[in-house]
């Protein structure tokens, strides 16, 4: 079945509801959308120093690609496959420090660039190791301390984030630190596109988000469309906390309550005066079940955090709550458990079998 939305918004109508139940379209989206776009894989605080290793999973329940972030002794950070090239064993199960990667199954070893360096009982094997014995490198990029990975990216990461750089370059996002206490994982019984569509319009704010409605002036709400992203600019009502963009910034002189930046297809960056709330949604194994994550990142610079900071999660509908900046080095990961996603902290230790 073919689905189409008229590009002329004055005559466009909602996409056929069959799209949200179409298993074939859902599967096709994995190959043509999610495998070809840049996916957020978390902050990089756990791989900040040479010799750091930290596992990631690319869209759990959807792409299910085990990844391994590895920073070598020279400081180069790479994204490798976290699957041993011998028998498919997962190599590193928790963040750790090591000078090599060692599989716990047969002790096959790799350096931190992914090159296989040793395999017991293979000393007389011919044409070994071959290129296929090394760990594949995954397309990887970083922005402001956050990691992004892609299986087969359509364009470079900078192309996805270019307008974000130019518009909000004055924000010291690289100095923000994760606030674990305000970060949440949710399972939303809806198609991933419905979650995104909700985010892309503000018309529901007066009816669903009373706390946010007290702050944001919906009458002056603005939308800007780019090649791989869109921006919603929400101006603040009189007396409410707002950004103060510096001279030279596009929004200098305007009282901006929030910047809502959507990165195609499923990343939502919510910039508030107190810091950043990050939403991402996709996955599970059926069209109607999506894993939605809300990660809160408080700003560590006091100039960016007002004394009465509050947190709104506009796509979830939570009430305001206090937000505090946390120490550097914190991280979160999603873990599938009985069909749901639950949050847990990463450990700084690993078994000898995984790292050694």
Q: What confidence tens digit (pLDDT) does each residue in 138-197 have?
A: 999 999 999 999 999 999 999 999 999 999 999 989 888 888 887 877 777 788 888 899
Question: Model's pTM, two decimal places?
Answer: 0.80
- Spatial neighbors of 22 by CB under 8 A, at least 6 apart, are 1, 287
Mean pLDDT of 235-242: 96
* Per-residue model confidence (pLDDT) at position 280: 85
Q: What are phi and psi of 69, to 5 degrees?
A: -85, 130
Q: What pLDDT, on the 0 to 100 scale, is given for residue 166?
A: 94
Task: Measure the CA angle with vertex 285, ends 279 and 291; round to 5°.
Answer: 15
Q: What pLDDT does 108 receive?
A: 94
pLDDT at 315: 31
Mean pLDDT calculated for residue range 342-353: 31
Query: Residue 122 has what pLDDT?
Result: 84
How far is residue 128's CA from residue 108's CA, in Å, rounded to a whole number? Answer: 13
CB-count exposure of residue 311 (10 Å: 0-12, 13-18, 19+): buried
pLDDT higher for 260 or 324? 260
Q: What percent of the chain has pLDDT over 70?
A: 79
pLDDT reading at 343 higher than 90: no
- For 7-65, how does the pLDDT look when each residue is reduced to its tens digit (9 = 90+)? 998 999 989 999 989 999 989 999 999 999 999 999 999 999 999 999 999 998 889 99
Q: Residue 354: what pLDDT?
A: 57
Contact predicate 330/316, CB 8 Å:
no
Cα angle, residue 30 at apex, residues 313 and 297 outer, rounded to 5° = 25
- The region of weakest confidence among 215-224, 322-331, 343-352 is 322-331
Average pLDDT, the chain: 81
Least confident of 113-127, 141-155, 210-224, 318-332: 318-332
Mean pLDDT of 73-100: 97
The helix or strand, by DSSP H or E, that contains position 335, with its residue range, turns out to be strand 332-337
Residue 177, pLDDT score: 84
Task: Read off the pLDDT of residues 252-286 as tens digits, 9 standing for 90 and up.
Answer: 999 999 999 999 999 999 999 988 988 887 655 45
CA distance 142 to 43: 9
The structural domains of the chain, ordered by start, are: 33-154+333-356 (2.102.10.10), 175-325 (3.90.380.10)
């Amino acid at each position: 079945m073919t689905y189409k939305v008229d590009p002329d918004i004055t005559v466009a109508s909602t996409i056929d509801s069959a799209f949200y139940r179409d298993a074939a379209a859902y599967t096709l989206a994995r190959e043509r959308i999610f495998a070809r776009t840049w996916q957020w894989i978390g902050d990089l605080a756990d791989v900040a120093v040479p010799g750091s290793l930290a596992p990631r999973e690319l869209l759990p329940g959807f792409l299910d690609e085990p990844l391994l972030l590895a920073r070598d002794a020279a400081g180069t950070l790479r994204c490798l496959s976290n699957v041993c090239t011998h028998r498919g064993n997962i190599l590193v199960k928790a963040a750790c420090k090591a000078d090599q990667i060692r599989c716990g199954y047969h002790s096959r070893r790799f350096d931190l660039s992914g090159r296989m360096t040793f395999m017991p009982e293979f000393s007389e094997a011919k044409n070994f190791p071959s290129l296929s014995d090394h760990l594949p490198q995954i397309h990887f990029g970083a922005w402001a301390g956050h990691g992004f990975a892609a299986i087969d990216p359509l364009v470079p990461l900078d192309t996805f984030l270019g307008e974000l750089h130019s518009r909000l370059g004055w924000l010291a996002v690289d100095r923000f630190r994760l606030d674990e206490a305000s970060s949440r994982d949710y399972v939303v019984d809806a198609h991933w596109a419905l979650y995104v569509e909700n985010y892309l319009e503000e018309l529901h704010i007066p009816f669903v988000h009373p706390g946010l409605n007290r702050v944001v002036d919906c009458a002056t709400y603005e939308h800007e469309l780019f090649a791989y992203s869109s921006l919603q600019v929400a101006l603040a009502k009189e007396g409410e906390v707002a950004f103060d963009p510096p001279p030279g910034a596009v929004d200098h002189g305007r009282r901006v309550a929030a910047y809502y930046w959507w990165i195609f297809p499923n990343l939502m960056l919510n910039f508030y005066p107190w810091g950043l709330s990050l939403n991402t949604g996709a996955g599970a194994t059926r069209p109607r079940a999506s894993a939605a994550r809300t990660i809160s990142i408080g700003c560590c610079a006091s100039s960016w955090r007002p004394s009465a900071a509050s947190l709104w999660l506009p796509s979830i509908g939570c009430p305001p709550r206090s937000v505090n900046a946390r120490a550097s080095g914190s991280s979160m990961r999603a873990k599938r458990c009985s069909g749901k996603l639950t949050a847990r902290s990463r450990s700084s230790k690993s078994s000898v079998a995984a790292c050694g």
